[in-house]
Chains A and B, each alone.
Chain A
Amino acid sequence: MKLVDEFRDVAVARRLVEDIQQRATRRWVLMEVCGGQTHSLLRNGIDAALADVVELIHGPGCPVCVTPAEDIDLACQLAQQPEVILSSFGDMLRVPGNAGSLLDAKTRGADVRMVYSPLDAVALAQREPQRQIIFFAVGFETTAPTTALAVLQAERLGLKNFSLIVSHVRVLPAMELLMQASDNRVQGFLAAGHVCTVTGFAAYDDFVGEFHVPVAVTGFEPVDLLVGIRDCVMQLESGRVEATNCYGRSVRRSGNAEAQRVIEQAYAISDGPWRGFGIVPRGVLRLRPELQRFDATQRFGVIESRPCLFNECRAPDVLSGRIKPPDCRHFGASCVPETPLGAPMVSSEGACAAYYRYGGHTATAPLAAK
């Protein structure tokens, strides 16, 4: 695929690995923020290839992993209403709340449907005017414009049978929490390239200034990841600290103004809960008051949440980089993708799923093979 294959070039990637190894005078601790980056790092053996000079710890950038269990419970209960079609992204359907997942609800007879795009759910509402279509809106700033467009389209079309459960989260406040933790080990960040495509990276200047930590906006292909890692290592070795853009083909300093505009039309920033993190100041997006009629909790009523049953899952420690998935005693034993204890083992962006899938195969990964 054009603009993908070029950034998977083995020769270039190997040379970058050597370059990083030559530049590093000690072992640096970097965090890749996005779960998509985690999977690419492990799939390509980058973590193993650089193990002597870089420790990669895995960040909170798995949106379905940090979606509150209470929101999943709400979605499951609303899905049981006979007039409701509950739709969301495929990943979200498999993540357990306190009383099972949306797929579990589907097996009990609920009409739960996977959609590729939130705008497909709007089209579904147009096709099925006798049904109530609820879209479970999760994701970081990358995804927020897509669900914002959905609700703005529904408003323009005058749809009375479309609503959202909004569980959007914002990346930067979580990075700030991680840096404020007393046991923080992160010395540099690979920022999430597609989040920054929307938001830009000017906002990281204050973060870099406050915490004195380099941030390299980084893409997802192996060469992109290695360019980001090399930039962080060069900054750390030289004592320079700044926010740099290593994913320039997609990211502009000020981001995508149109995407930001639709987010602002639909959503307001708020304090709110992240699964495993508690309340994150300015960490979530909520529908603006003038769009409250599209809020499923307003339309159908809020359902009382129950205490979390998944207290054996160490997702909070995994998502904050305190432990690696294999450090959890349940990993690969009582917790596997088919019977997960928690979200990081389910999601295609979860760190536990990445280790389960690729962790035992690093010797055959392209960059780990000698």
Chain B
Amino acid sequence: MCLAVPGKVVRWLDREPLFARAEIEFEGVRRVCHMACVPEAELGEFVIVHAGVAISRVDAAEAQQLLHELRSLSESSEEPSL
């Protein structure tokens, strides 16, 4: 139920606050999502979408910083993703 996935904002469709909508791209597939909770989201930015509604703007810099810190922990590996 609380599952949510990140997608990229590719086109705003409606900016009226209660009915705000945008096209969001998930791995090349575009879906119309509701944007009332992320009215400031910008094109090209990632948002986290739950039940058709974007609930958060992704802090990409924070994500990269964490990954950088974690990779410094791990040795280089050719293993695939889980």
Report A's interface with B, CB cutoff 8 A: 1-16, 19, 34-36, 44, 61-64, 89, 91, 116-120, 138-140, 142-143, 145-146, 149, 152-153, 156, 192, 194-195, 197-198, 220, 222-223, 227, 248-251, 256, 258-259, 262, 347-349, 366-367
Contact = CB atoms under 8 A, between A and B. Distances in A.
A61 B14 CA distance: 34
Nearest to A156: B18
A248 B69 CA distance: 14
A34 B75 CA distance: 31
Interface of B: 1-6, 8, 18-19, 26-27, 34, 36-39, 46, 48, 50-53, 55-56, 58-60, 62-63, 66-67, 70-71, 73-77, 79-82
B51 A146 contact: yes
A153 B81 CA distance: 41
Contact of A118 (B48, B51, B66, B77): B51
Given A153-B19, A249-B66, A259-B37, A15 B52 contact: no
Chain A at the B interface: SS class: helix
B73 A2 contact: no
B66 A194 contact: no
A34 B2 contact: yes
Given A2-B6, A152-B18, A227-B70, A143 B1 contact: yes
Contact of A14 (B66, B74, B76): B74
18 contacts: A1-B6, A4-B5, A7-B67, A12-B67, A15-B73, A15-B75, A34-B2, A44-B82, A63-B1, A119-B52, A195-B2, A197-B56, A248-B66, A250-B48, A250-B56, A251-B56, A256-B38, A258-B39
B4 A194 contact: yes
A43 B73 CA distance: 24
B51 A89 contact: yes
Given A116-B52, A153-B18, A12 B37 contact: no
B19 A61 contact: no
Given A149-B18, A194-B50, A10 B82 contact: yes
A152 B14 CA distance: 17
Contacts of B74: 9, 11-12, 14-15
